[in-house]
Amino acid sequence: MFSQQSFQMYCAGMFMTSAHVLNVKNPYDNTKVAQTFLAGEPELEMAIREAQNIASELAEIPSYKRFNILKQISEELMAMRQRFAELITFESGKPIRYALSEVDRSIQTFSVAAEESKRLPSEHIQVDWTPAGVGKEGILRYFPIGIVAGISPFNFPLNLAVHKIAPAIASGCPIILKPSSLTPLSTLMLAQIIDRTVLPKGAVSILPMDRQTGNKLVTDKRISLLSFTGSPEVGWKMKNNAGKKKVVLELGGNAGVIISHGADLEAASTKCVVGGFAYSGQVCIHTQRIYVLENLFEEFTEKFIEKIKTLKPGNPIDPNTDITVMIDEANAIRVENWIIEAVNGGAEILAGGKRDGSFMQPTLITGSHEDMLVCAAEVFGPVVVIEKVKDFAEAINRINSGRFGLQAGVFTDSISEMNLAFNKLHVGGVIINDVPTFRVDHTPYGGIKDSGLGREGIKYAILDMMNPKLMVKNC
């Protein structure tokens, strides 16, 4: 469908090629999806200089025009919904049902950004709280921070890029986005929509790059903000190398779930299977660790295993497929090795555990220890650990014990347990009677500890992309 296409990079408002061809492969069958091109230092320099040139013009665009630009992008995405979903499926191996959901979320993300562009923050401050302030008034406004660098991952190739592009447009900041070299095509097709708007050329550049060139987004002093979504090891290293620029990091985790008294075990098990195995667990808020109260453990585990058995493997373009290959065989081998390590350490496989090329069976493990990789690290694959706990407090302690703190899910009908979880869980978000995999795109999203720094979510990303400035007037 796309194999004869050549997706050009989008640099400083122009579509162009380079001498460095990048062939994008379908993870399911390793066939060529389409080709694009890698930007080098000359193209990146062109993008940065043009972003500098149009920064003032971009900052002065009135809110109604920003709104119209963002709504146009949202509406054109809607008109091309199926085509975008198919492209995401082919380049990432994501089942088409989840690819369609990702496109829907991207449409909504641009729509929310359009609304937020009309309510950029400002504040009137009463200054006369002290004698020195008598006869004066304060006005606080927010101004674009400058050039934004966005680096997005393979697992949500469109929507996680949109979470950087849309707030940049809304806040009046030029942005240079580096998509994953594994999945750059959907963002380059998005560039074709952006190019049809009246947004000044150079406001958005989308440049596939190798890591050496892309690292200049981290180190270049002309860039004011770096927004990175990816692995903790890479993200914290980027922060150390970023100099004085502002840095926002979304770095994933090993999300935990508590199953407590009063939980609807049927509903909870269904949601946990989806949370654990959607897109083969390649989701930063993938349901990785489930802690079940002792007297519920057997019944819940039985329901969970039965639902795993109903997952349909197959070609991701088939609308009936639930689970398919991982992004590549290297990652599938890594996950398999983590499972082997757990079993060698005394853990038991309750379901799955086998690998065939890039396909890793949906796997359920029990009898794990907190220092095993399947517990302590971000598995980013179709593996769930399930353990029994004696009470709710122990479950909270088990979730808090690790280095990550992105989101957690709690299934309970107890108001006191809901409040206890909210107050005591060391995470960025607590989801009641649903899995930590739940996210809607206008809410603040991010974590603590090794899970990141700052928050995504359109309103909150806009705040990161703007600087406050105070004017004090003598009346």
Catalytic residue set: 250, 284
* Packing angle of the helix pair 159-171, 185-195 (nearest 10 deg): 30
Report how far residue 86's alpha carbon sits from residue 201's, in angstroms, rounded to the nearest whole number: 28
Three-state DSSP class for residue 351: strand
Report how far residue 256's alpha carbon sits from residue 330's, in angstroms, rounded to the nearest whole number: 26
Sign, CA dihedral 85-166-79-442, equals positive
Three-state DSSP class for residue 77: helix
Report how far residue 54's alpha carbon sits from residue 132's, in angstroms, rounded to the nearest whole number: 40
Return the number of other C-beta atoms located less than 10 Å from residue 274's C-beta. 15
Angle at 203 between CA 202 and CA 205, to 5 degrees: 65
Strands (E), 322-464: 348-351, 355-356, 359-360, 363-366, 383-389, 404-405, 407-411, 429-432, 448-449, 452-453
CA distances, 24 to each of 70, 87, 174, 231 (Å): 28, 11, 27, 21
* Cβ 69 vs Cβ 168: under 8 Å: no
